[in-house]
Structure 1
Amino acid sequence: MSDSPNSDDTGPVDEDALARIVDASPSRLGVGRSGTRPRTSSMLSFRADHARARDAVLTKVSEEMIEETGLTSIQSRVTDQDEYLARPDLGRQISDETEARIRDECTLNPDVQILVCDGLSSTAVEKNVPNLLAMLVDGLEERGFEVGTPLFVKFGRVDVMDEIGKTLGATSVVNLIGERPGLHTAESLSAYLVYEPHPDKPTAKKSVISNIHVDGLPAVEAGAQIIDLVERMHDQRGSGIDLD
């Protein structure tokens, strides 16, 4: 390869090796340059992916999806998107009024409480939850678990699962939440799980299955893994580092 940083005729020492690496990775590898600048196609691709990532963070999950999936909608203590990004602590909490409402409207003391949080990607929720949620409810009930009233938490963070789970007396909670989008995909969802939820429960005692999207862990396969993990948690009475 030429030593000149401005050379336009530089190329890989081993083109076949580079091709194999590019095929095996979603990263931007071997995109080339024009002089000292990225090629136009590379720059346009980067800007398009960045725009999709921003949209995933800033847009809202549609009311149509919430209604079609049968989710009961509530909200964390966050009031708007700016506050959500600036105050993660408020996204982990619900108001006294919301606590009273879910006690009145939701199943109490379920074996498994399922939450869906918009998190940092509404796109991930809309792309994955419709198929994943139905599979989870059916699969858990087939294994003998009582599933609580599925909830959608607007402006929800991961640990809101503890406060809601404790309020409803759930034995365990599954929180499906949009992951922070990257330049490869804005559609990635995570499932966080906790046994005996409590606001003081440390992160180490929670389990997670991440990278749920069409180019990662498909929703159907993720659903099977979540159901198996819930059963394991109940058998061993723990989650996270408490699991063997």
Structure 2
Amino acid sequence: MREHDTMAGEDRFREWMQDTPARLDVGRTGTRPLTREMLKLRLDHAEAVDAVYGVVKEETLAEFDLFTVETRYRDKEHYLLVPDSGRVLTEASEKELGERCIHRPQVQIVVSDGLSAKAIDDNLADVLPALRDSLAANGLQEGTPFFVKGGRVGVMDDIGRVLAPEVLVLLIGERPGLVTASSMSAYMCYRPAPGRKDSDRMVISNIHASGTPPIEAGAHIGTLLRKMVEQQASGVKLIV
């Protein structure tokens, strides 16, 4: 390979490094990673573990007046080992939703820790106000928002069974990785109910400061919800 081709290839590689948070060209000392890279890896891993086992701050929920209900997750270890436990509400929580929430709302907003409490703490303050502004701009009415502790995506269907919303959006913490531990997803479904498939849902993922901007995501969610209401569909059936 000619020298200028080699240099051009190196320049392109450096550009790629600027465009991705992936670990590229981290360097070695013999067969071992550089000390600074090893320490950074351990730090990122520790942050991911903390995100999974963390708890959403009370002040985060209080800021938006979100009351808390729970799934049958029992504890974090059970939640991780038995995913179905996070898809069904407890009987007490089902009763509380029935007493405190608007039934058959046009738009039901639900927040859940999922696999990253940090995602909620870091992003909710930007996503939720933007989403509410977008709902108003799109002429949509919000129901009674609340927080689900120990939730999985499938809890949308159980909530749909209880409250029967026209559309539901679940803001939930994503599984953390070694790039970020604060990524949020927004799952949406038209008339969620038991038996819904993954193909009936749609999602905006990677919502965080270095991914999909939280304010932009909130605005876009409102637009998608309007289309879902207009077309009476979601997931692969929605024409976007």
TM range (shorter): over 0.9
User: 1:209 and 2:204 equivalent?
Assistant: yes
Shift of 1:112: 0.6
Amino acid at match of 2:177: G
CA drift at 1:224? 1.3
Alignment-derived partner of residue 182 in structure 1: 177
Determine if contact 2:51/2:117 at 8 Å carries over to the other structure: yes
- Give, in angstroms, the shift of residue 169 of structure 1: 1.8
TM-score by length of 2: 0.93
CA contact (8 A) 1:162 1:197 kept: yes
> Which secondary structure does the structure 2 equivalent of 1:48 belong to?
helix
Q: CA deviation at 1:13?
A: 9.2
Considering only aligned residues, what root-mean-square deviation do their CA atoms show, in Å?
1.5
Instruction: Give the partner amino acid of 2:87.
Output: R
Query: Hey, what does 2:37 align to over in structure 1?
Result: 42
Matches of 1:134 and 1:21, distance apart in 2: 34
Residue 14 of structure 1, CA deviation: 4.3
Contact 2:138-2:223 within 8 A present in 1 as well = no
Q: Deviations along 1:85-128, whole A, 9 cap, x unmatched?
A: 11110100012221111111111110010010100011111111
Query: Which ranges in structure 1 are unaligned for 5 or more consecutive residues?
Result: 1-11
Counterpart check, 1:66 vs 2:61: yes
Task: State the percentage of identical aligned residues.
Answer: 45
1:121–1:187 Cα contact (<8 Å) kept: yes
Alignment length (residue pairs): 234
CA drift of 1:189 comes to 0.4
1:8 alignment partner in structure 2:
none
Structure 1 residue identity aligned to 2:141: E
| Partner Cα separation in structure 2 for residue 93 and residue 186 of structure 1 | 25
Letter of the aligned partner of 2:71 in structure 1? S
The answer to whether 1:106 aligns with 2:101 is: yes
Paired position in structure 2 for 1:90: 85
1:127-142 paired onto structure 2 within 5 Å? 127-142=122-137
Confirm or deny: 8 A CA contact 1:72 1:149 kept in the other structure. no
Corresponding position: 1:25 with 2:35? no
CA distance in 2, matches of 1:73, 1:209: 24
How many angstroms apart in 1 are the aligned matches of 2:127 and 2:58? Answer: 18
Is the contact made by 2:202 and 2:235 (CA closer than 8 Å) also made in structure 1? yes
Q: Which structure shows the higher helix fraction?
A: 2
Instruction: State the Cα deviation string for residues 156-210 of structure 1 (Å, max 9, x = none).
Output: 0001011112211211100000000111111110000000111101110111110
Per-residue CA deviations over 1:192-233 (Å, capped at 9, x if unaligned) read 000011110111011111010111111110011101100110
Secondary structure of 1:170's counterpart equals coil
Distance 1:210 1:170 in 2: 22
SS at match of 2:68: strand
Taking structure 1 as the reference length, the TM-score comes to: 0.92
* Shift in alpha-carbon separation, 1:138–1:16, aligned structure 2, 3 A: closer
